[in-house]
Structure 1
């Protein structure tokens, strides 16, 4: 009898609930991925993944890629940073987590501090890896403005056989950075090389915007100063406009500069 009463009460509440939902338009609440994603403590994940760390890390990696978003973060680390760091605790030798995770945080999420931490975690296990050092140095130099850390990593890259294949400019770049702490032209060399070595996709699209901006700044400065041997086309191979005695780019652009974000404790 009590069981029948319980079923009747449940059905009654469900009927009322459906009726209310059909008659009342509730306001839609939009919650960002940053606010809606759970961040599990590392120790908790380790307890529940005993003996299956690789499987759990693979699942976390796949789910992170599937849920990956483009929302940028300010003054804090993104949810994807916490996910990548959790994976590194579960499976420290998971190379793709550091390589792709660092790139995604740095360029797509704009979480350059988080990217540095992910790269540093990976370099503990792959200290001489060309791509980890190369991408980490790029993040240090052009995003964080950390010249010393960038130089250290670029010098590691220079010792790799891959340097001749993918970064023949490195000796010159290192010498120029050490001598003058870099410049726009040196930045364009590295950025363009980074762009050319990136597969088609969202990451390359974002890099295209940065290369366009940096090249436009260099070219327009040259043209408007009346200098010789200036490039007259932008990165899209479109002629610069000349209006009211001044050269302009066809598209709007923002100066590409290190973000100099403060490291959070």
Structure 2
């Protein structure tokens, strides 16, 4: 009887050891798993000249790329400073391709350009998208208004910012833009335009991520 018990116990030892090994392996796997917050994402931009290979599906492809782009408005493929992304970033390439495929697709100019300048500070990319948007929608005051902010705050081009503000007023923008255009050569003009843009973004219930980043930029300007 005792021999049978010992024999049964010894037969169970390999199973117990196997279970212990499996548990240890699982524990080490969990410990070695990288922290999701530290994993570097590497998003792939559309190939150049994609619009030439759309074969009549330009609008469909543009819509698909836009849906993908808005999910990562804050993505920066390479930071070159605090909250400053490399020029012509992944987001810029997405927006540039979208607007090549669908030049009359308004929102990538209006919201995408603002995301480039306010959220990730891709200065060159934002300039190209806003210039493209102003050309495509010369009578859309919100695009010229946001472009004026970019030219003033990021490029310190007061002349171009004033021109865009006048264009804004001529196309139905807030009446104060004319007076603001005349005050751009004073130090107070920078903050005033940024605060006015923040009010416009908040009242029109635009992307909260853009609003929060713009609010932080205004705080840094005041300091």
Same-fold call, TM cutoff 0.5: yes
Q: 1:23 to 1:82 in 2, by over 3 A?
A: same
Structure richer in helix, relative to its length = 2
- In the alignment, structure 2 segments of 5+ residues that lack a partner are 1-24, 77-82
Residue of structure 2 in register with 1:40 after alignment: 46
What is the TM-score when the length of structure 1 is the normalising length?
Answer: 0.62
Match of 1:206?
213
Q: How does 1:122-137 map to 2 (within 5 A)?
A: 122-137=133-148
- CA–CA separation in structure 1 for the residues paired with 2:87 and 2:104: 26
SS of structure 2 residue aligned to 1:197: helix
Distance 1:109 1:74, change over 3 A: closer
Shift of 1:208: 2.0
For residues 110-161 of structure 1, the C-alpha deviation after alignment (integer angstroms, 9 at most, x for no partner) is: 1122111001111221123201111001100111111222122112112122
Structure label with greater radius of gyration: 2
Residue 238 of structure 1: aligned partner: none
TM-score between both structures, scaled by the size of structure 2: 0.73
Are residue 159 (structure 1) and residue 159 (structure 2) matched? Answer: no
**Could you list the runs of 5+ residues in structure 1 that have no partner in the other structure?**
1-20, 218-254, 256-265
In the alignment, structure 1 residue 139 sits paired with structure 2 residue 150 = yes
- Residue 175 of structure 2 corresponds to which residue in structure 1? 168
Following the alignment from structure 1 to structure 2, what is the Cα–Cα distance between the partners of residues 60 and 70?
15
Instruction: Flag the 1:188–1:84 CA change in 2: closer, same or farther, 3 A.
Output: same
Distance of 2:189 and 2:175 partners within structure 1: 13
Q: CA RMSD in A?
A: 2.4
Equivalent residue number for residue 248 of structure 1: none
CA distance in structure 1 between the aligned counterparts of 2:182 and 2:85, rounded to whole angstroms: 34
> Post-superposition, which runs of at least 4 consecutive aligned residues in structure 1 deviate over 6 A?
21-24
Q: How does 1:232-247 map to 2 (within 5 A)?
A: none
1:16-165 residue pairs with structure 2 within 5 A?
25=29, 28=34, 31-33=39-41, 36-44=42-50, 46-47=52-53, 49-71=54-76, 72-161=83-172, 163=173
CA gap of 1:46–1:31, structure 2 versus 1, over 3 A, is farther
Count of matched residue positions in the alignment of Structure 1 and Structure 2? 185
> What secondary structure sits across from 1:110 in the alignment?
coil
Q: Specify the alignment match of 1:191 in structure 2.
A: 194
